[in-house]
Amino acid sequence: VVLGHGAAMIIESLHLYYHVQCFRCHVCQIPLGTGDLGADVRVRSGKLHCSNCFSNDEG
């Protein structure tokens, strides 16, 4: 579960914390959330991915 908390995005289960402006896909740099709602994010090797880049990235 990804929750927005003010100026931070937190993935509690993985202990990952990001500023909203830093909460972007590692590959294509698309923003992954605004902090208002939950976000659909994939994590590989501690790096954030959108679903498209996660499918295409070979690690």
pTM of this structure: 0.72
Q: Which residues contact 40 (CB under 8 A, 6 or more apart)?
A: 32, 50, 51
Whether residue 29 contacts residue 1, with contact meaning beta carbons closer than 8 Å, is answered with no
What range does the domain containing 51 cover? 2-56
16's tokens = 């990952």
CATH number at residue 50: 2.10.110.10
The pLDDT tens digits for 38-57 are: 778 899 988 999 999 998 86
- Residue 40 is classified by DSSP as -
Whether residue 8 contacts residue 33, with contact meaning beta carbons closer than 8 Å, is answered with no
The pLDDT tens digits for 16-37 are: 888 888 899 999 999 998 767 7
3 confidence band (pLDDT: 50, 70, 90): low
Number of independent structural domains in the chain: 1
